[in-house]
Amino acid sequence: MKDGRDYHTATVLGNGKVLAAGGFNGVTILNTAELYDPSTGSWTTTHNMNQARQGHTASLLADGSVLVTGGFGEQVFLDHAELYDPSTETWTTTGSMKARRDYHTATVLANGKVLVTGGFNSEIIVGTAELYDPSTETWITTGNMAEARDGHTASLLPNGKVLVIGGFSQHTFKNTAELYDSLTETWASTSNMKDTRDYHTATILTNGNVLVTGGSYGGITQNSTELYDSSTEIWITTGSMNNARQNHQAVLLKDGKVLVTGGSNGGRALHTAELYDPSTRTLTTVDKMNNIQDSHEISPLING
């Protein structure tokens, strides 16, 4: 990349390029953005965001634009949101969120709206949720989660519901999970995870189940993994990772396996990677990355 960065976002665009935006370079919170072209293996700069930010979200909308929300920038937690247009490579400000937040989640629903949940707003960890409507570029509040949380994950299930799990709030690490129904705009509790965790990953498998890996609990980094069965709403313990890790990444590959990369363990950044095989429910180590990567991003390219 042109700029070193962590706590940024990376979004695969409709044209196959990857948009990297914002983050922190060790000195400054960034408003810069750049594009990776997998056909040439090169990075080019694109227009800067209107707002420098880290700990934000980026969501690919149905029209091909990218919605960036919240985060932390220039000594303030943000409610600011903006849109990136890949055809013009420009950013425009859109409606602001109802609440300031970072380390929240943003999930594109089947109806095209974007559900934002939780996060931190400088004073408290929040349990609020809100919806962005791309057709009007406005936000409306929706039902609150049962529990405030940040460092959690949100996954769109095949049935259209959103599974929110784990995180941290009120000095407590969470093993709780809840489901958002976009038809009724309400939340319902579902079964708890086997382990308490935040800064984990959650990946939808080809069979609709959710693989959760790693995370931390009370300063202890975990190597445990578990599966959420979306049809029965129960959790199943599955094979442990070979390395405990948090702030890592996991991505579903074309063959249905899941690649888990990097992160940190006890403050030490990792360059290890491993592969989850859903047919055996085991993880095996694969070649290490060339560089240590913590709080990084991983994007599946169109060439596989």
Residue 296 has pLDDT above 90, yes or no: no
Dist. CA 185–CA 181, nearest whole Å = 5
pLDDT computed for residue 291 by the predictor: 75
Report pLDDT digits (tens) over 231-244. Answer: 999 999 999 999 99
- DSSP string across 82-126: EEEETTTTEEEEEPPPSS--BS-EEEE-TTS-EEEE--B-SS-B-
- Look over the chain and give the mean of its residue pLDDT values, rounded to a whole number: 94
Query: What is the number of other CB atoms lying within 10 angstroms of the CB of residue 128?
Result: 20
Residue 131's pLDDT is 99
pLDDT at residue 180 in the model: 98
Instruction: DSSP for 129-192, please give it.
Output: EEEEETTTTEEEEEPPPSS--BS-EEEE-TTS-EEEE--EETTEE---EEEEETTTTEEEEEPP
Q: Contact at 8 Å (CB) between 144 and 130? A: no
Residue 292: pLDDT above 70? no
- The pLDDT confidence band at residue 290, using thresholds 50, 70 and 90, is confident
More confident residue, 29 or 6: 29
Q: How confident is the model at residue 304 (pLDDT cuts 50, 70, 90)?
A: low
Among candidate residues 92, 95, 87, the one with its CA nearest the CA of residue 114? 95
pLDDT of residue 3: 84
Name the token pair of 279. 């047919």
pLDDT computed for residue 295 by the predictor: 60
Residue 294 has pLDDT above 90, yes or no: no
CA–CA separation, 298 and 304 (whole Å): 12
- Give 107: exposed, middle or buried? Use CB within 10 Å, 0-12, 13-18, 19+: buried
Mean pLDDT of 164-176: 94
Indicate the range of 6-20, 36-50, 290-304 predicted with least confidence.
290-304
Cα–Cα–Cα angle for 157, 160, 161, rounded to 5 degrees:
70
Mean pLDDT of 244-272: 92
What pLDDT score was predicted for residue 266?
81
Angstrom distance (rounded) from CA 198 to CA 83: 29
pLDDT (average), residues 35-39: 93
pLDDT band at 87 (very low <50, low <70, confident <90, very high): very high
Listed residue (191, 196, 140) closest to 167, CA to CA: 196
Q: Which residue has the higher pLDDT, 294 or 262?
A: 262
* pLDDT range class, residue 46, cuts 50, 70, 90: very high
Give the pLDDT of residue 1. 82
Element (H, E) at 284: strand 282-286
Q: Is the pLDDT of residue 181 over 80?
A: yes
CA nearest 37: which of 83, 86, 85, 4? 86
What pLDDT, in 10s, does the model give residues 131-162?
Answer: 999 999 999 999 999 999 999 999 999 999 99
Cα end-to-end distance, the chain, whole Å:
20
Q: Identify the weakest region by mean pLDDT among 130-139, 146-155, 257-266, 285-294.
A: 285-294
Query: Residue 244 has what pLDDT?
Result: 94
